């Protein structure tokens, strides 16, 4: 299923692959050289892979192609409102201005009369517009992002997963992430530098996650719709403010 949909759908997938390292490479390359090669392959900057044999693409019909897109597209490219995106069936719509588009079987978003879509009407184009909008707020004298959050940490009992263990205030500024609050009944002050957090993982409408110094934290903002926003901002701020960038450039350009 697409990233924005839940569940599973059976189908065929075309894959093109080639070896990244030879047996000799693994013996002679340094760890940094291996990591750089992996980053280059995953980001696509190293060049195109071999062209596979041409075959007609297959598409799958569905009556709910766009449902769930609001989990990753929270910004309207027409009125620039946030968290007003709704999806139903094959339609994505902004409740603030009525901007509306319909997704077809090729994942193309076509605007209805009077509406607009970002770029050529792909989910990637829309997401890039969302990223560019977030870039506007980043500067050396920017106002910090401040949010009340709850915290989950690993359960002390093996096999019990993550448990809610505290709450506090998260502040994000050009230096990094600052948490002041209580975890497991103790007052704590945590700091995660911009350089140490090049990217974040997250769960839709639930939490964003930081793994640092051998410790794993899930932070749940008061408005859980902001989870992806903070994930985007974290990566942008790493590119903008980190003295050493630890990410390989990908599809979205940050500078």
Give the tens place of pLDDT for each residue, 4-38.
766 666 667 777 777 888 989 989 999 888 888 88
> Domain boundary at 114, 135, 156, which?
135
**Banded pLDDT at 251 (limits 50, 70, 90):** very low
Q: Does residue 16 belong to any structural domain of this protein?
A: no
State if pTM tops 0.75: yes
Q: Does residue 52 belong to any structural domain of this protein?
A: no
Residues 147-190: pLDDT tens digits?
999 999 999 888 889 999 999 999 999 999 999 999 999 999 99
One domain for residues 176 and 197: yes
- Write the CA distances from 152 to 41, 155, 168, 190, 251, integer angstroms: 34, 9, 12, 14, 32
> Over 90: is that where the pLDDT of 63 sits?
no
One domain for residues 122 and 203: no
**Among the ranges given (15-19, 100-104, 151-155, 211-215), the one the predictor scored with the smallest mean pLDDT:** 15-19
CATH of the domain at 218: 2.30.29.30
pLDDT for residue 3: 67
Q: Does residue 115 belong to any structural domain of this protein?
A: yes
> Domain boundary at 83, 109, 135, which?
135
Q: Does residue 63 belong to any structural domain of this protein?
A: no
Which of residues 51 and 151 earns the better pLDDT score?
A: 151
Q: Does residue 46 belong to any structural domain of this protein?
A: no
> Could you tell me the residue range of the domain that residue 118 belongs to?
69-135
One domain for residues 234 and 169: yes
> Over 90: is that where the pLDDT of 194 sits?
yes
Q: Does residue 177 belong to any structural domain of this protein?
A: yes
One domain for residues 154 and 211: yes
The answer to whether 146 touches 154, Cβ cutoff 8 Å, is no
The three-class DSSP label of residue 183 is: strand
> Domain boundary at 135, 161, 177, which?
135
Q: Does residue 28 belong to any structural domain of this protein?
A: no
């Amino acid at each position: 299923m697409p990233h924005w949909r839940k569940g599973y759908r059976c189908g065929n997938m075309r894959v093109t692959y080639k070896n990244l390292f030879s047996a000799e490479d693994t013996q002679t390359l340094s760890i940094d050289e291996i990591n750089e090669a992996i980053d280059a392959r995953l980001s696509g900057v190293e060049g195109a892979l071999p062209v596979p044999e041409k075959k007609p693409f297959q598409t799958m019909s569905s009556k709910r192609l766009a449902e769930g897109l609001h989990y990753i597209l929270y910004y309207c490219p027409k009125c620039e409102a946030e968290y007003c995106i709704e999806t139903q069936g094959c339609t994505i719509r902004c409740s603030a201005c009525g901007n509306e588009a319909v997704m077809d079987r090729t994942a193309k978003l076509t605007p209805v009369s009077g509406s607009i879509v970002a770029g050529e009407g792909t989910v990637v184009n829309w997401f890039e517009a969302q990223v560019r909008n977030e870039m506007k707020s980043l500067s050396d004298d920017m106002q910090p992002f401040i949010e009340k959050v709850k915290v989950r940490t690993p359960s002390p009992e093996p096999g019990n997963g993550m448990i809610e263990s505290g709450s506090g205030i998260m502040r994000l500024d050009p230096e990094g992430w600052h948490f002041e609050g209580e975890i497991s009944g103790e007052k704590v002050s945590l700091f995660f530098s911009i350089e140490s957090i090049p990217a974040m993982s997250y769960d839709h409408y639930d939490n964003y996650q930081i793994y640092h110094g051998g410790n794993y934290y899930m932070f749940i903002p008061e408005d859980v719709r902001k989870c992806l926003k903070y994930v985007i901002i974290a990566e942008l701020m790493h590119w903008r403010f980190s003295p050493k960038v630890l990410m390989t450039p990908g599809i979205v350009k940050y500078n």
